[in-house]
Amino acid sequence: MSRNNGDRPDEDHAEAELENEDDQDQDTESEDDMPDISVADIKALRDATGAGMMDAKKALTEAGGDADEARKILREKGLAKAAGRTDRDNAEGAVAIAKADGVAAIVHLKSETDFAAKSEEFLTVLAALVDDVLANGADAVSAHTAAIEELQITKKENIELGLVERVEAGDGNDIHTYLHQQDGRGTNGVIVVGNGIDADMLQQVGWHIAFAKPLGLSRDEIDPAVAETERETLMGLTRAEGKPEEMLEKIVDGKMARWFGEQVLLEQGLNGDKTSVRESLGGGTIVSFRQAYLGG
């Protein structure tokens, strides 16, 4: 979803309004009662914080003209507003992958719009996150809390972390990464670890995962709650079809087998072919995979 920046007033118009307000203020209040705040001060605070001109003026007034205190006021108010956005859908964002010898990291930073996700500020924070995770592990994201909060304030969106993983290949294994990019940002990232598989095939599996979006490597990795919900749905549909009650379990077992075949990586047909991923590995194995994508 795209948006323009039309909710921000024209800067010249905003400045004119501020200057008119200043004239009116001087008519009603003495200089001793008001801090010395210029339009340049307000613009500087706006540029530093992303706040609107009027919000910046109010913060400076409240802070008695102290720019640092005004920034603190705007930040506190911004975080309070951001807390009210946590229930808003944030299916946009960007995915980043970083890789070194035998290790890779993937970070998904979510947003409400592609407008925010494609911004320089957003992508700079994301790049810092993934580099830190690669070097120091998933817990390293805690050092970037302030930067994420700043994005929440300046972009006025529900911005939060999605998948954050650091994957080590392990002895004797190979690691492959794939990142699909669109409009200057990553939108679908995959890390896959294999053993006894040539590089070309591991790459093929990475592409397949990006396209097929499996829920797990094997049936054991499928969330039991997700599988049970699917079974209950299929049971209801099969019963509604008028099938004999004594045959329902057997029929649903068959439907669940087909469902697992669509959701489990090793059982999926590689790149949509009839030959499964497992049968395509030439005796090798997929050790693990991680995937993050927009809307996931």
Burial 231-262 (b: 16+ CB within 10 A, else e): eeebbeebeeeeeeeeeeeebbeebbeebbee
Residue 6 binned pLDDT confidence (cut-offs 50, 70, 90): very low
Tens-digit pLDDT profile for residues 164-202: 999 999 999 999 999 999 989 999 999 999 999 999 999
Superfamily in which the 92-222+264-293 domain is placed by CATH: Elongation factor Ts, dimerisation domain (3.30.479.20)
Q: Residue 31: its pLDDT value, please?
A: 45
Q: Residue 59: its pLDDT value, please?
A: 77
What is the C-alpha separation between 293 and 182, in angstroms, rounded? Answer: 12
- Top pLDDT among 147 and 83 is at 147
Tens-digit pLDDT profile for residues 101-131: 999 999 999 999 999 999 999 999 999 999 9
Residue 50 binned pLDDT confidence (cut-offs 50, 70, 90): low
Taking residues 218-247, report their average pLDDT.
94
Closest CA to 296 of 213, 211, 193, 222: 213
Put residue 100 in one of left, alpha, beta given phi > 0 → left and psi -120 to 50 → alpha. beta
**How many CA atoms are closer than 13 Å to the CA of 214, on its beta-carbon side?**
33
Superfamily in which the 11-83 domain is placed by CATH: Ubiquitin-associated (UBA) domain (1.10.8.10)
Write down the domain spans for the chain: 11-83, 92-222+264-293
- Top pLDDT among 7 and 126 is at 126
Arithmetic mean of pLDDT over the chain: 85
